[in-house]
Amino acid sequence: MTDRIYLSPPHMSGNEMKYIKEAFETNWIAPLGPNVNLFEKELATYSDVKGALVTSSGTAAIHLALATLRVGKGDTVFVSTFTFVASANPVLYLGAEPVFIDSEPDTWNMSPEALELALKEAKIRNRLPKAIVVVNLYGQSAKMDELNDIARRFAVPIVEDAAESLGSTYKHKKSGTLSEIGIYSFNGNKIITTSGGGALISNDEEIVNQARFLATQAKDKAPYYQHSQVGFNYRMSNVSAGIGRAQLEVLDQRVERRREIFDYYKQELNQLKGIHFMPELKQTTSNRWLTTLTIDLSEYRISPREFMLKMESVNIETRVLWKPLHMQPLFSDCQFYKHPLSSEVISEKLFETGLCLPSGTNMSETDQERVVEEMKKIFNSNRKPVYVFNWNKQKGMRAKVQRKTI
Ligand SMILES: *Cc1c(COP(=O)(O)O)cnc(C)c1O
């Protein structure tokens, strides 16, 4: 059996042990310590924002962001529907209710038109949301200018869920810095990792300070332990932050490599009919965290789910795209606004047709050639026969001829 090729495994830089060793040698194994402070400073510098708070997970960072914006019982929060469940779970932690917004086809992210519709209706009913969680999926930024304009008109703050888009840019700004608050994830499968962790970033230092206060058990200023509000234990540990510092040093290299991996797939598979890669919006660069594509089901008799199983049988990990949250049993009671400029529900269509390919930066060229070869085999043997009609001179009729696969 050949070695397994994973979707997106961790990739260490080699410097991690240096910072972890420092933590051990100085006995800063207690949660906080110098690596935490330095990682926060270095991350803020990288993203060019005033403040950063590193947390135990990306989910914790979203929870803190919404808590800082005073989301509470009975409130609503608008959330991109096409995302991982962690974008919306914190809304439930706070006793609020998510309303899901569809994708648009240019970025696969939140549709500004659907958002505007949802906000107009909410305003009429006097139920404007406390916040909007906009996700940048698979590394691609949403249409942030349009979304920000609409949100500002209704005075609703945006939390940019940049868990998958660290290192991407939107009009030369770092992804995650386009709105009031941004969040990152350093989970093991993300573009860089601390084994588990996340961050909250903002240009509003008061927001970052408030999030830091809530993340450290909400201790009042008093000579003893006094608390007047609910806090959390959400800070990143000094050991994890050591890993993060070494990973941040190679982030730009990792982005470059992921983009190369994407380019290779595109070059090799683009000539197949009915295969479409995730688009990249003008004036943005995607970190191409995962290479993703859609399969035109009128051209192939294989669904992404079947495709995934076939790849699994040759020990290659692929994955279907996120199942939209408005389709999840957990959120079956929640409202949903579809993209109004299409008869189809964009996020549902993407879910039915989309696939993620192995995109780890430590994948070798031979690995990638193997993935491509297996994919070509599967696509070619599952091409739908297409009949073309050729004029048959002798018989004076059209003869049915089956098109060959390429
Ligand atoms: C990974 C991810 C998160 C959550 O991050 P964790 O660090 O795993 O808690 C949130 N949103 C999106 C879109 C993600 O992909």
176 sits in the region (left: phi over 0; alpha: psi -120 to 50; else beta) called left
Q: Whose CA is nearest to atom 7 of ligand 1?
A: 58
382 C-alpha vs ligand 1 centroid, how far in Å? Answer: 34
pLDDT at 404: 54
Q: Quick one: average pLDDT of 2-21? A: 91
230 C-alpha vs ligand 1 centroid, how far in Å? Answer: 23
Atom of ligand 1 nearest to the CA of 198: 7
- pTM equals 0.94
Closest of 200, 162, 156 to residue 64, by C-alpha = 200
340 C-alpha vs ligand 1 centroid, how far in Å? Answer: 28
Q: What is the mean pLDDT of the chain?
A: 94
Q: What is the largest CA-CA distance in the chain?
A: 102
43 C-alpha vs ligand 1 centroid, how far in Å? Answer: 18
Reported as a pLDDT band with limits 50, 70 and 90, residue 402 is low
pLDDT in tens, 349-377: 999 999 999 999 999 999 999 999 999 99
pLDDT over 70, % of the chain: 94
pLDDT at 228: 94
CA–CA gap between residue 212 and residue 231 (Å, rounded): 10
Reported as a pLDDT band with limits 50, 70 and 90, residue 2 is confident
- Which residues form ligand 1's pocket by a CB distance below 6 Å? 57-59, 83-84, 86-87, 135, 161, 163-164, 185, 187, 198
pLDDT in tens, 228-260: 999 999 999 999 999 999 999 999 999 999 999
Q: Quick one: average pLDDT of 79-90? A: 98
pLDDT in tens, 89-113: 999 999 999 999 999 999 999 999 9
Q: Which residues contact 212 (CB under 8 A, 6 or more apart)?
A: 53
Q: When comparing pLDDT for 14 and 31, which is higher?
A: 14
128 C-alpha vs ligand 1 centroid, how far in Å? Answer: 26
Residue 405 has pLDDT above 60, yes or no: no
59 C-alpha vs ligand 1 centroid, how far in Å? Answer: 6
Domain spans of the chain, in order of start: 16-250, 252-387
Class assignment of domain 16-250?
alpha beta
Residue 380 has pLDDT above 60, yes or no: yes
Q: What b/e readout covers 155-178, taking b as 16+ CB neighbours within 10 angstroms?
A: ebbbbbbbbbbbbbbbeeebbbbb
List residues bridging with 356 in a β-sheet: 292, 319
Mutate to test the pocket of ligand 1, among 56, 134, 161, 322 (most ligand atoms within 8 A of CB): 161
Residue 1 has pLDDT above 80, yes or no: no
CA–CA gap between residue 48 and residue 178 (Å, rounded): 11
Q: Which of 90-104, 116-130, 169-183, 391-405 has the lowest mean pLDDT?
A: 391-405
- Architecture per CATH, 252-387: Alpha-Beta Complex (3.90)
Domain 16-250 and domain 252-387 have a common topology: no
Residue 403 has pLDDT above 70, yes or no: no
